[in-house]
Structure 1
């Protein structure tokens, strides 16, 4: 079974022969012949390493490194997962897992924070979207597969790990150590409360229970508020995404008709892809909706934002989102674990691809934390593909004892974005469709 995330393989035995791949039985195209020639080259190099490298090597480790290298060359989101990691990834989509509570990707050989999850060790320590993790317990992550770093960050509850974090670039970069204690992460993905005459619903990620939990929260608020209920606030800030089908069903809950999202391959002559359309039924009963976003709003949460914006069903309030417009598929590989590979790009109903661009809000509003997130993401996008190999990156620096803190809106400081949304809902302007 495949899970589509908003994040043909063959196995062969190595018998000690240099020629690992037989030539095709018929003369193929020039491209086929070149491919087989390169595969035989791989086999020869593999044998040279096994026989001539100055230290003993393990075949499994070499093969896994080769597979990880191939997938890492594609994009930051395609990875091979050994059996234990693959099982943990599947557990995570069901809403409970062990670790730090942080969604990550890879950029220029380092681990990049997409978003910390609410009320987890990562968020409480002050990590922000766009932060780069350079070392784990003093060991550099540069040159290692992303999955290896993820496995190192996971572990038994109440055990600790020290992350070395780089925030910003060049002379403005802050480099600090932060010690986190692992916990069992039980993601309560939906939280809700009454906000004056409006129902406030926060969605922190899209796992198997998100639509069900959101529907239950809205039904409860409807019952509690009765005729006083005037509209809805859907908070998707720092929501790193998750399952595609949940993004579609959450969007569908507020739409009566029309396309929600389309996915299609960018390969020449590929199949057209898929379009997902809304069914009748609006859980909000036509009442106005404001969706809150920021630079940590990514992937599946951008699908929801884009669908509701394009259909003029909601006002998007906040600042430009992360910009992850790629769909990953989880593919089981039997006893070998599994892989996550990018299989398509997604497009909003108006045909927008938001990859590396993001969703632009209808009403712009900022909290202090949003400025820090946006600055980190902007700096990351401005980096060239050539990684900075200065001593500052390759060696563990002297560091502070904790992360620079950014105030959590609504907890430590006024929530400017939420207040802007309330003003919009009380006197809503007509949203502008994005082209």
Structure 2
């Protein structure tokens, strides 16, 4: 098993992804004073894709990352690339109208296509594999999938959708835990850190200046922003805050609207071809429907990557493998004698209404942001980059305007109490899961 290191070490998490990362460039630490059209804070998918979109439009961009490119959720997540943005989008009909809700749904499909096109255009080696299955824990989940499939077809979804009855689930997953599923061949899985590193290389090739180990210490707002680090500063016409769960105190106005929640992943030793095929016969990404969601898939070298257990308490398990292994064995008891080679965790950003927060600060119209992807960040970040790129470059963007229109609640309790308060609330939802209530 890999040596455990603190979840929030300044190094990459001790993950399978870090151990199997492609060769990549290192980027310097910011020194001195630089100018650009746009300064981006955050070297994850949101920041990188905004940088690419802006550079493709001819703007000069400087990107600052406090640690390493892909250090946060972008380089640690489960690697599932799944259609959709937000949860329960009908709740926003009173704000954006029925047409606006439909556009949110269409953007949730477009988000995956943005990733597909970016990987192809820049020839990014990130093990992109198509095929995903939603797993039904109870019959009502399966009925929800039937309705989901009908709605996706009504939206013009171009990819294959296929219902899987309980008696056929062995064709999808070697587990007795599920009563059905829905296959979606327009979603899939990938190596997220290699995607981030490939996008950083793409951004650099377009002239973006990227800086690592360049934590921002202060922001001077105004018609021209000035962003300070320990050893330098950047002056820019526009600023993008793309820190998500790691925004911390950099901007309290935004920080109070996103709750950092812990999520954890383990990776087994490489499995035999026979065992791997018996677990996930079609090499799909899989995800169940519980509040404390299980998600899993096979890596390119046939490890099972098993994740979930979203923690709202603000405390990480002392031993992630010991915490996650029983969850894996509940799904796959046949792995009782398989070793765990890697264990890691990180923070995802969650908003109160589970819709990504994309917009600009009301009192600082040249300051833009994207955050709170609620665990669906691989695709939603890419959509955010496209919307921010359009808005910052002065293009009309109906999508950006729709997201910016939605109000977002500040979590009660302040920095110290908002996580414990939400953790208490989540106990109720877990109890409902346990007894099969909706």
TM-score range, shorter chain: under 0.3
TM-score (norm 2): 0.26
User: What's the TM-score, normalizing by structure 1?
Assistant: 0.26
Q: Which of the pair has more CA radius of gyration?
A: 1
The structure with higher relative contact order (CA 8 Å, sep 6+) is 2
